[in-house]
Amino acid sequence: MNYIGAYFTDRYRNLINDYGYKKDEINNRVKETWNKLFTSNCPETQIFFQTDNNMGYMLDTGNNDVRTEGMSYGMMMAVQMDEKDIFDQLWLWTKTFMYMEEGENAGYFAWSCSPDGTKNSYGPAPDGEEYFALALFFASHRWGDGVVPYNYSEQAKDLLHCCIHKGDNNDGYPMWNRANKLIKFVPNVEFSDPSYHLPHFYELFALWANEIDRPFWKEAAQESRKYIAQSAHPVTGLTPEYAFYNGSPNHIRGFGHFYSDSYRVACNIALDYEWFRDNACPTVVNEKIQNFFVDKDPGDYRRYRIDGEPFEEKALHPVGLIATNAMASLATSGENARKSIELFWNTPLRTGKRRYYDNCLYFFSLLALSGNFRIYKPD
C-alpha cells in the first residue's frame, strides 16, 4: 500500500477545482445540491422526506418505496455534511421499520419498505448493511455516541459481526462467503454483485470492527480488489450487475450485463484509490470505462453487454452514469478524465419519477470530486 492516500495524509483532492472550476462555485454547488435533495423547497428533486415522529426516509421515487440502499446512502450523505439531525431521523426510521428481530434474517434490515413503514420484503440487501456500518462509525467519530439507538459505534460493530457470523448457530446465512471473503448478492445465494465490493470500507472495518473480526475484513479488502479486476471486461472495463465468484457474468434474470448497479464500480475504485492508494486498486478499469464512454452521446446511453455491444434498451439512469464516470477521475488522469468531469459539471440533477438513484450517485460524485467525501477517524 502506498501511504499517500487520504487516510494517511488527511488531504482530499478537490479535483473539480484542479480542472479549472472556482472553489466558491463548487462549494455553492455542494450546498445547493444538498438542499435540493433534502428539503421540501425543491419538490422536483427532493428525495428525503420527514415524518411527524422525528423520523425521515429516502424515497425511491421510481418504485415508491424505501430501500436500505437509499437509507444508508442518506446517512452517509448526512454525516459527510455534518447534518446530525437528518442522520438521526434516518437511522431511527431504519431501526424502527426495517430492522428484523426474528427469522433467518434476524439482525439484518428489510431491503424494501413502504413509506408508511410496512415491510415489502423480509430479505436484506448487503449493500445497505455495509453502508449503514461505515456511516455509523463516521457518526460515532464525528459526533460521539449517545444512548440506544444512537450508540453508533456499537450498532456498527454488532451489524458487522452479524454480517459474517450469521449462521454460526444454523440460524441463517452470512452476507459474506467466509471461505473466499467475497460479499454475496443476498445472504442465501452463492454469487456476488461487483458493485457491492467496497475494499476501502473494509480497510476501515479492519480497524474499527470487533477485534475478533478485523483479520476477516483486512482479507476481504484484498480479495475485493482482486474480484473487481476479475469481473471487469479486459477491453471495456464494464462489469456485470451479477457475477459468479470467478468474476464471470451471472445471467440469472438477465443481470449479467452492464446496467444500473454496475455504474457504482467506477465510484468504488475511485474512492478506494483516493483513500488508500493500494497497489492492487484496479485503476485501469476506470481508465477503460472512461475511454468507452467518452465519445458516446449521453442522450443515447444504453444497456450494454460487458464487451460493449449495446442493447436497444436505453439506460434507465443516464445522469447517474454521467456522475459515476466523472467520479472515476479520482483514479485516472488526462483528457478523458477532464471531459468526464466537464460533462458532469454541466449536467443538472435529474427531475421526475426516476430521479432517486441518479441523484444519489450525483451527490456522492460531487462530494468525492470536491474533496468532501472524507474519512472520520476516532479521536
Helix axes of 283-293 and 335-345: crossing angle, nearest 10 degrees = 70
Whether 197 is covered by a domain: the verdict is no
Q: Which domain holds residue 344?
A: 1-46+232-373
Predicted pLDDT at 316: 98
Joined together, the cell numbers standing for residue 142 give 464525528
258 DSSP β-pair partners: 304
In a domain, 264, yes or no: yes
- d(CA 134, CA 119) in angstroms, rounded, equals 24
Cβ within 8 Å of residue 210, ≥6 positions away? 157, 160, 161
Give the CA-trace dihedral at 312, 263, 358, 39, to 10 degrees.
Answer: 170
Query: What does the alpha-carbon distance between residue 281 and residue 276 come to, in Å, rounded to a whole number?
Result: 9
The answer as to whether 199 is a domain residue is no
Q: Is residue 358 part of a domain?
A: yes
In a domain, 350, yes or no: yes
Domains: count for the chain? 1
Query: Is 261 part of the annotated catalytic residue set?
Result: yes
Residue pair 245/190 in contact by the 8 Å Cβ criterion: yes
Catalytic residue among 60, 69, 203, 241: 69
Count of Cβ atoms closer than 10 Å to residue 312 Cβ = 6
CATH number of the domain to which 253 belongs: 1.50.10.10
356 within some domain: yes
pLDDT for residue 264 = 98
Cα separation of 48 and 323, whole Å? 20
Instruction: Tally Cβ neighbours within 10 Å of residue 52.
Output: 5
Place of cell 455495509: 130
Q: Is residue 72 part of a domain?
A: no
Alpha-carbon distances of 271 from 49, 277, 374, rounded to whole Å: 28, 9, 10
Q: Distance (Å, rounded) from C-alpha 125 to C-alpha 112?
A: 9
pLDDT digits (tens, 9 = 90+) for 217-248: 999 999 999 999 999 999 999 999 999 999 99
Considering 127, 129, 241, 261, which one is annotated as catalytic? 261
pLDDT at residue 323, rounded to an integer = 98
Tens place of pLDDT per residue across the chain (379 aa): 888 999 999 999 999 999 999 999 999 999 999 999 999 999 999 999 999 899 999 999 999 999 999 999 999 999 999 999 999 999 999 999 999 999 999 999 999 999 999 999 999 999 999 999 999 999 999 999 999 999 999 999 999 999 999 999 999 999 999 999 999 999 999 999 999 999 999 999 999 999 999 999 999 999 999 999 999 999 999 999 999 999 999 999 999 999 999 999 999 999 999 999 999 999 999 999 999 999 999 999 999 999 999 999 999 999 999 999 999 999 999 999 999 999 999 999 999 999 999 999 999 999 999 999 999 999 8
Q: For 280, which DSSP code? A: T
Alpha carbon distance 228, 196 (integer Å): 10
Q: What is the pLDDT of residue 1?
A: 85
CA-wise closest residue to 289 among 274, 308, 272: 308
Contact 257, 304 (CB under 8 A): yes
In a domain, 25, yes or no: yes
